[in-house]
Amino acid sequence: MSDAPSPDVQHVKLTTSLGDLFFELDGAKAPKTVSNFLHYVDTDYYNGTIFHRVISTFMLQGGGLNENYDRVPPTAKPIKNEADNGLSNAAGTIAMARTGDPDSATSQFFINAVNNRSLDHESKSADGWGYCVFGRVVGGQETLDKIRNAKVKLDPRADRRMPARPLEAIVIQKAERVEAAEVPAD
């Protein structure tokens, strides 16, 4: 990306209980997804949600549960999957979580902890749609490492989709838009 500001590039700061994370969102490649994510940022939806699934060799998922692991109902309708945008689920990228329905993403997102090419778009079929990448982490590497390395418990009673719950809640205290100049150089 160039150094010149673009209306297609937005920046978001997540203040978490472990430190700050900074995201750069690619509205040119994933306009509906970025608009959806910013809706949740701008309405303070993410404030008080947690990173509820942390698998250091896979991904870090958040944005839909509170500290009691109660689901926080989404405030917008599911969006059309834009995983066919050419972006890859590489380490450090941000993608939308969804159910088995390719067009079911709402508020939950994940940060790829490693290269997850198996999550990339392959075809416009139920099995091939993939997960839409819409940005990347551009600041807060120390915080990202703390989240990735958080101690987790494997609760056999837990939903099979959330087997790795952090022992201590990793809370998103505040999500807000910021200017590129506010993103620290890591």
Q: Shortest CA distance to 79 belongs to which of 99, 61, 104?
A: 104
Q: What span, in angstroms and rounded, lies between the C-alpha atoms of 51 and 168?
A: 10
Strands (E), the chain: 9-16, 19-26, 49-55, 59-62, 93-96, 109-112, 133-139, 152-154, 164-166, 171-178
pLDDT digits (tens, 9 = 90+) for 36-50: 999 999 999 999 999
The two tokens of residue 147 are 């989240």
Contact (CB, 8 A) for 96 and 148: no
Q: What span, in angstroms and rounded, lies between the C-alpha atoms of 102 and 80?
A: 8
Rounded to an integer, the average pLDDT of 180-184 is 93
**Residue 72 pLDDT exceeds 50:** yes
**Residue 75 pLDDT exceeds 90:** yes
Question: Rounded to 5 degrees, what angle do the CA atoms 145, 148, 152 make?
Answer: 140
Give the model's confidence band at 185: pLDDT under 50 very low, under 70 low, under 90 confident, else very high: confident
Rounded to an integer, the average pLDDT of 5-10 is 75
**Residue 162 pLDDT exceeds 80:** no
What does the pLDDT read at residue 159?
A: 53
Question: Rounded to 5 degrees, what angle do the CA atoms 122, 53, 64 make?
Answer: 85
Q: How many residues does the chain have?
A: 186
The radius of gyration of the chain from alpha carbons, rounded to an integer in Å, stands at: 15
Which domains does the chain possess?
9-182 (2.40.100.10)
Rounded to an integer, the average pLDDT of 159-164 is 60
| pTM as predicted | 0.92
> Burial level of 12, CB count in 10 A (0-12/13-18/19+)?
buried
pLDDT digits (tens, 9 = 90+) for 170-181: 999 999 999 999
pLDDT digits (tens, 9 = 90+) for 124-156: 888 899 999 999 999 999 999 999 999 998 766
Rounded to an integer, the average pLDDT of 45-62 is 95
